[in-house]
Structure 1
Amino acid sequence: MTQQQIPPAPQHVEVAIVGGGQAGLSMSWHLKQAGVSHLVFERKRCFSEWRDSRWDSFCLVTPNWQCRLPGFHYAKEYGGRDPHGFMLREQIVEYLDAYLASFDPPVIEGCEVSRVEPLPGGGFGIRTSAGDFTADQVVIASGVYQKPVIPRSAERLSASITQLHSSNYRNPRQLPAGATLVVGSGQSGCQIAEDLHLAGREVHLCIGRAPRSPRVYRGREVTDWLTDSGYYDIPYESHPQKATVREKTNHYLTGRDGGREIDLRQRALEGMKLYGSFKDVDGGVLRFAPDLTRNLDEADRSYNNIRTLVDEYIARQGIAAPVEAPYAAPWKPDVDPTELDLAAQNIASIVWAIGFTADYGYAQLPVFDGRGHPVHRRGITPMPGVYFMGLAWQNTWGSGRFADVGQDAAFLLPTILELRRAQRQRQAA
């Protein structure tokens, strides 16, 4: 009779971090400084989204000086020499790799987490492709950009149309000859449409209700104005839009060519074809809502509101700054188009840039609402020992971004340490 093998006991750590992006590794930096044993589980390679899911001409849309991961600010510890520039994709990866090397976090790469669940005796079980683990506390930092969104109606399009998600777009040469339709006017959609347009390709762009932002106003980068005014420090609980701000699409603008605005009206004058919100597919025809005019107007309203915020700050502080003329729309649609015949317009490819959804299926924890969204306050959930990192507006505009993700991690650290202290006291009793 063959003796039955007893499986090895799961490896135990005080804190398990799911996700090796900027959020998970910012948390790791703080835990390492505090001497807390932990592991970071990353299903691919650390910062894989920055390495593998960005197009060739991709660059930051915020100035380099806002890259301030904990212990590794761009101009200080990293020694970057272009704080007001916008790093290209390869430069971003170099910065992130240098960050990894700066503190050597305990990461298991190529390790997919398939289940996180509470254990009967306390703590959490973590099932992974590298084996089973247990932890006293868990930080979920796997991000909200896991599952690319492509509408089911896209399945009804002809196989002759090349379709890809924005995360798989690399450059204009990747697409077949002919016109391209880009669906989505967030940062990715607008920048990809511009990338194709500047390469001389014929571009059709379906725009939603994404807002836009000025780049430079009254002699200064708008990011600098909003930072000095304290706007970026407003917590979502005090924001005029309250919790709904978490649902808002990012403003579109670009760091390309040294940083500039994206004005879709100007691109329309140059030949880019604009449409309203995508609705459906009807044979070889795409249907749109008759809201192009409204969407352009709302984007401009956001643009002008940001200008007003800057004006008000300048006035309060008595700052001498050049005055600029009000924005005047260079183009307006005669009608709101409601359909697009792909064959008639020689459209050979479609880039879907309508975002991602989160995938928390592995987290078998009672910390989600009816829509599957995390229930938390600044990353702290109602379940002791469970935290989130990297969420949009987890606290402020900079949450989850290079700008302030380190502050989010620093906020969680005292709660983690307090629970750790209480657990040790119980064990010693």
Structure 2
Amino acid sequence: MSHASPRPAVHVSVAVIGGGQAGLSMSWHLKQAGIDHVVFEKREACHEWRHARWDSFCLVTPNWQCRLPGFAYAGDDPHGFMLKDQIVEYLDAYIASFDPPLHQGVEVTHVARRAEGGFTLRTSEGDYSADQVVIANGVYSQPVIPRAAERLPSDIAQLHSSNYRNPQQLPDGATLVVGSGQSGCQIAEDLHLAGRKVHLCVGRAPRSPRVYRGREVTDWLTESGYYDIAYESHPQKATVREKTNHYLTGRDGGREIDLRRRALEGMDLYGAFRDIDGTTLRFAPDLTRNLDEADRSYNNIRQLVDQHIAAQAIDAPMEPPYTPPWAPPAEREALDFRDAGITGIVWAIGFTPDYRWIDLPLFDGRGHPVHRRGVSPVSGAYFLGLSWQNTWGSGRFADVGKDAEYLLGEIQAVRQAPRAAA
């Protein structure tokens, strides 16, 4: 009985791993430069936007910031906030606009150096080799759920934020949302506005104003050049990559989120989640501090806008300083979920990247990518789509294309180096 021999490894100049906005942006630049490449996506292109967002999800940045390379937003609502289905339509139109060499449903399971130079890639459709590789699979690979969740009884419904869709998905009763980043705050609001009783564990995520002194804050920060500050020049340099995104929303035409006001409306707030002991949920006594720190961030952004307005002598209306409308009367460190009528929990404490399939010395002692503007210590290996890879807009629709353009220059320099040596 004969057996078909495995096909020889297919060679490409550049392998791009990940078919989200980062991988697609890289592909656009490579295609414009005439460099042969393949984009591997283990699910379907832009899977997270299609299948890991709730029904009322919308962008938190205005539509005009959707400026993927060669495909800036051209709709009639530049200062609006695209809904989930509109985001998917924008991305599908982007793919159709330049027909990238996408291999969808193909998982890359191993990347390593090749003895003769370049890299080997093991994939679910066979082996490949590449002169250079761009790792653009994102930082939202593995949902984080604490091990303490395993001690909850089976009648308590549990969802990660990536699996939440709408309030009807959860059983009748109160819901605990753990985490106050962008997803946690917006999901808590989604439940609250639907008339659900919400308990929210508030972490250390900062918050942002939406409109200040007559303009969208995004416009002010863009005009002032704040969004163009490079990581290496940022005053918070060593910590800015560790910070959670500011919470606000594009819902209802765009507005800020003030958890203190939600507390006045009946949302119960607690400090960071700590543990579960029988039917008792335990929280850190840090609610006051976390709310104060979020407000400090909010006021700092306002101050940046004030400084820009003053420096440019812009005529803009004044606004009164922010006055907190509510403060926690005491720190609540425990809650019996049975007594509170909690029937569901949404874990909104983020994701952790999965780089176990990369057999290259690209990571530090904590497993984080080592890079400068996406260029790794290994010649020919790059990262794209990381938070603060270079600026605030890195990884986002706003500036991921600029990062991809920079990496194109690095890729071309490596390609030309052997010719120069010859």
TM-score range, shorter chain: over 0.9
Give the partner amino acid of 2:212.
Y
Name the residue aligned to 2:209: 214
Structure 2 unmatched ranges of 5 or more? none
Q: Take 1:246 and 1:281, find their aligned partners in 2: how far apart are those partners? A: 30
- Report the CA distance between 1:331 and its aligned residue: 0.5
Shift of 1:249: 0.3
Q: CA deviation at 1:5?
A: 4.9
Q: Which residue of 2 aligns with 1:48?
A: 47
Who is 1:132 aligned against?
A: 127
**Helix, strand or coil for the counterpart of 1:298?**
helix
Residue 104 (structure 2) aligns with? 109
Q: Does 1:241 pair with 2:240?
A: no
Residues 7 and 126, structure 2, Cα contact 8 Å, conserved in 1: no
Distance 1:18 1:65 in 2: 27
Instruction: Give the SS at the match of 1:247.
Output: coil
Residue 276 in structure 1 maps to residue 251 in structure 2: no
1:231 — aligned with what?
226
> Residue 174 of structure 2 corresponds to which residue in structure 1?
179
Pair 1:315 & 2:315 matched: no
Structure 1 SS opposite 2:358: coil
Aligned to 1:335: 330
Deviations 1:227-273 (CA, angstroms, capped at 9, x unpaired): 00000000111111112100000000000000001000000000000
Q: In the alignment, does 2:149 pair up with 1:167? A: no
Which letter maps to 1:52? H
Please report the RMSD computed on the Cα atoms of aligned residues, expressed in angstroms: 1.0
Counterparts of 2:343 and 2:3, CA distance in 1 = 60
Report the secondary structure of 1:244's partner residue. Answer: helix
Q: Secondary structure at the match of 1:17?
A: strand
**Partner residue of 1:264?**
259
> Deviation string for 1:360-398 (max 9, x for gaps)?
111111111111111000000111000000000000000
Partner of 2:28: 29
Which of 297, 310, 315 in structure 2 is aligned with 1:302?
297
Where 2:359 maps in the other structure, the secondary structure is: coil
Which runs of 5 or more structure 1 residues have no equivalent in the other structure?
none
Q: Relative to structure 2, which stretch is displaced further, 412-421 or 96-105?
A: 412-421
Using the TM superposition, name which of 161-170 and 6-15 deviates more: 6-15
* Identity across the alignment (%): 73
Name the amino acid aligned to 1:291: D
Task: Measure how far apart 1:7 and its partner are.
Answer: 2.6
Distance across 2 between alignment mates of 1:220 and 1:121: 56
Q: Which runs of 4+ in 1 moved over 3 A?
A: 2-6, 423-426
Letter in 2 for 1:152: R
Shift of 1:304: 0.4
Per-residue deviation, 1:422: 2.3
CA shift at 1:312, angstroms? 0.5
* Structure 1 residue matching 2:58: 3-state secondary structure: coil
* Partner Cα separation in structure 1 for residue 78 and residue 136 of structure 2: 28
Q: Is the 8 A contact 2:143 2:160 kept in 1?
A: yes
User: TM-score normalised to the size of structure 2?
Assistant: 0.99
Give, in whole Å, the separation in 2 of the partners of 1:414 and 1:298.
Answer: 40
TM-score, reference length from structure 1? 0.97
Distance in 1, matches of 2:278 and 2:179, equals 21
Opposite residue 328 of structure 2, the aligned amino acid is: P
Deviation at 1:212, TM superposition (A): 0.3
1:147 aligned onto 2:142: yes
1:402 and 1:355 map into 2 onto residues whose CA distance is 20
1:324 maps to what in 2? 319
1:347 deviates by 0.1
